[in-house]
Structure 1
Amino acid sequence: MAIEFAPLPLPPSADPSKFIDFGREVKGVDPATLDPKSERFAEIHDALYKHSVLLFRDVSMTPEQQYALTKAFDPKSEDYGHGNNKTEGTKKSILHPDLKTIPRVPQVQLIGNGTVYNHEGLVEAKLKHPSHTTFHKTRVSPEDEAKGVTRFYRWHIDAALYDLSPPRVTTLYGLIVPNGPPQVCRYDDGTGDELPVPLGTTAFVSGKTMFDILPPELKSLAVRSKVRYAPHPYVWMAPAHAMPNALGIETEGLELPLNELPPWEESKIKAFPVVWKNPTTGELHFEVHPCGAAELLVDPVPAGAKREGALFPDGAHLTELKEVRELLYKMQRPAIAPKLVYPHDWHENDLILFHNRGVLHTVVGAFTPDQVRAFHQCNLAASDDPTGPSLEDVKKWA
């Protein structure tokens, strides 16, 4: 049986012209039993890099099979993307409450909401769906929340951003998906933007689109820049507050001082290109985790390139958090407009694979304590760092 790739059902809010190549539902293949050396896996591999998000419906998958499928995209990878058991064990980390490790397959995490009993070796797992109410500087009023108003939680890439390389692929498998009325995700950033969303959606935006829609001067800046992340960024950012549209941190000076972080080494601090090159298509994807960014390093415009109108034509090293954040926000905010967001409507036994080096995503919404939700998540710290733009790319866009 031939593999079929069908377009994802887009919500009315989406601009179809911006989703021509984004996202596919895959039919005719069981992802749990894919042979990594088969032509069928090669077809899935290339489709993921071309379409960024792949959806499989009605999947039956063990944690071992999910780990094997995730690892097939990077056979040299081994450990969970934040380091096996390290995220949950670092109690100061903002990720600490969100993840429970499957004991026999530590690369797979149990996430969700409510209490789950006797699950894959976990006698009792108390899960908490990440909510803007615990992370944002401001929050939706309880009255509006009761009416179904909510927010994005945190736009991000799955990555430790310190010591380990960002995973190539994340797999998300929905086991228990509670039903409930749709919500309205409010941006609350002065634009009036709102997005109707299914309860508990995972929202995705394309890093390729994020780069493609930039004006020339910001494309030039993007291809010439690297972002340097804070050491142990999830501990560093834990006392701080996110912006209301979840695209970065408010600059209030609340980040944990570097001398109060867990021990860290300068050599393990990560500095990545702002745009990452897709290994299959050659396209450029804007891939920055705005919450963990600490500095920007900008190269000069190349010899012979137009300097007029260029930002930092002689290069720059930006270390003031407010300036770094405002520049990144200026580049990233257009791409989270409602018409560019794909909010997935989860069903039980949905499996989503997404190109973690090609999209940004976020948890959305809120559940009541008695609404049980259980997902398995797997991503693996990659065997390599992402590749930035080539010299030809820089010359083309700078």
Structure 2
Amino acid sequence: MAIELVPLPLPQTADAEKFKDFGREVKGVHPGNMSKAEREEIHDLLYKYGALLFRNVDLTPEQQYALTKEFDPSSENYGHGNNKTQADAKSILHPDLKTIPRVPQVQLIGNGTVYNHEGLAEAVLKHPSHTTFHKTRVSEEDTEKGITRFYRWHIDAALYNLKPPLVTTLYAKIVPQGPRQTVRYDDGTGDELEVPLGTTAFVSGKTMFDILPPQLKSVAVRGRVKYSPHPYVWMAPAHALPTGLGIMSEGLEMPDDELPPWEEKLVKVYPILWKNPVTDELHFQVHPCGVKELFIDPLPEGANREGAMFPDGAHLTDLKQVRDLLYKMQRPAIAPSLVYPHDWHENDLMLFHNRGLLHSVVGAFRPDQVRAFHQCNLAASSEPVGPSLEDVRKYA
């Protein structure tokens, strides 16, 4: 049976035109048992569509690890470093991850307590919620009415020492049922988005770049971001914006001299735009919470300087200025019409291009609502590729 592709079911809020090349459900092949030709086809399809969904599949942790590794055969370790986030209680990721003992590259995430699960006699899981990370929070009264928020828009990556994973695989084992919720942006726009309980929300990095006005496209194609050392420890004392798209500038970040030991050579500096290895398209791929500085190259020789921002280049070190500029570029792409909130079913497997999308945990659960997912991503064997000289000349 040949591989069959079906468009993902979009919510009524989605702009279908913007999603015509985003996401496909895959039928006719089992992701844990593919031929060489099928693996090659799935590889290219993932980079073309950004996210692939397999419904109702039985997948062992070993098969999930092997599938994830197919996209980068030289990769080996979990994308944040095996057990390192758990060993460091200061990291904001610390409460969210439990390692499956016999396959340490696969993490158990979710909510509530699960028993006798893949070698774990008992695992207490905590679904990350805006209530512990945002500057403000939804009131208890509104929470009872189903009002919630995006938690944190991000890329799965350590952003220090290790290279960002190419692909993340997310496999739903236990999915609690409950009423739909409403994401409130709470940023003065009035934007809201109705979502399934416990959805994972996705936005396209390609769309994030494509919809920018020319002035900001020029900044993006010339820009590089510098992340903090140990960014998840650095950001832990701080508070996020109500959209989950970055941090409030309150001076609460952990000082460099109080971070775990770090080396300058291991600090990550990445292009704002990452090139898709199959389509050659550019994706706006910035984890806004971890960025500390911003570099912008000068306009190339012969470029039109009229109205250009930073025509002679810039090195921005004022954290609020850096964050405000990134927010201006990224916020349009998380508009309700551009968000795909996945409606999880048990035994759904989602593969997504971690270097082409941003995603966010959404919503909140009661302690008795048990949710268990297996997540796998592997620190890559190579760094992201940024814009070519031709790209710079085209957009700058």
- TM-score band by shorter chain is over 0.9
Whole-Å Cα distance in 1 between the matches of residues 378 and 223 of structure 2? 26
Residue 255 of structure 2: aligned partner: 257
Within the candidate set 172, 182, 193, 2:191 is matched to: 193
Contact 1:34 1:69 in 2 (8 A): no
Within the candidate set 200, 203, 206, 2:204 is matched to: 206
Residue 149 of structure 1: aligned partner: 147
Shift of 1:316: 0.7
Shift of 1:379: 0.1
Residue 386 of structure 2: aligned partner: 388
Whole-Å Cα distance in 2 between the matches of residues 119 and 32 of structure 1? 20
Q: Secondary structure, in 3 states, of the residue corresponding to 1:175?
A: strand
Q: Deviations over 1:223-251 (max 9, x none)?
A: 00000000000000000000000000000
Residue 331 of structure 2: aligned partner: 333
Residue 11 of structure 1: aligned partner: 11
Unaligned runs of 5+ in 1: none
Whole-Å Cα distance in 1 between the matches of residues 86 and 390 of structure 2? 42
Aligned residue identity for 1:25: E
Whole-Å Cα distance in 2 between the matches of residues 345 and 156 of structure 1? 19
Q: Secondary structure, in 3 states, of the residue corresponding to 1:66?
A: helix
Whole-Å Cα distance in 2 between the matches of residues 295 and 162 of structure 1? 14
Aligned residue identity for 2:338: L
Shift of 1:118: 1.1
Whether 1:116 and 2:114 are equivalent positions in the alignment is yes
Shift of 1:174: 0.0
Unaligned runs of 5+ in 2: none
Whole-Å Cα distance in 2 between the matches of residues 326 and 205 of structure 1? 20
Contact 1:137 1:242 in 2 (8 A): yes
TM-score (norm 2): 1.00
Shift of 1:34: 2.0
Give the alignment of 1:1-398 within 5 angstroms.
Answer: 1-35=1-35, 38-398=36-396
Whole-Å Cα distance in 2 between the matches of residues 96 and 41 of structure 1? 34
Q: Secondary structure, in 3 states, of the residue corresponding to 2:236?
A: coil
Q: Secondary structure, in 3 states, of the residue corresponding to 1:112?
A: strand
Whole-Å Cα distance in 2 between the matches of residues 119 and 385 of structure 1? 35
Whole-Å Cα distance in 1 between the matches of residues 360 and 139 of structure 2? 21
Instruction: Give me the identity figure in percent.
Output: 77
Contact 1:162 1:270 in 2 (8 A): yes
Aligned residue identity for 1:116: V
Contact 1:55 1:350 in 2 (8 A): yes
Aligned residue identity for 1:167: P
Shift of 1:210: 0.1
Aligned residue identity for 2:51: V
Contact 1:116 1:126 in 2 (8 A): yes
Whole-Å Cα distance in 1 between the matches of residues 103 and 2 of structure 2? 32
Aligned residue identity for 1:13: T
Whole-Å Cα distance in 1 between the matches of residues 87 and 9 of structure 2? 39
Aligned residue identity for 1:20: K
Q: Deviations over 1:14-41 (max 9, x none)?
A: 0101000000000000001124xx1111
Shift of 1:310: 1.0
Contact 1:183 1:198 in 2 (8 A): yes
Aligned residue identity for 1:326: D
Shift of 1:308: 1.1
Whole-Å Cα distance in 2 between the matches of residues 232 and 388 of structure 1? 23
Aligned residue identity for 2:27: K
Contact 1:177 1:347 in 2 (8 A): yes
Shift of 1:106: 0.6
4+ residue runs over 4 A deviation: none
Count of aligned pairs: 396
Shift of 1:281: 0.2
TM-score (norm 1): 0.99
Q: Deviations over 1:139-165 (max 9, x none)?
A: 000000000000000000000000000
Aligned residue identity for 1:21: D
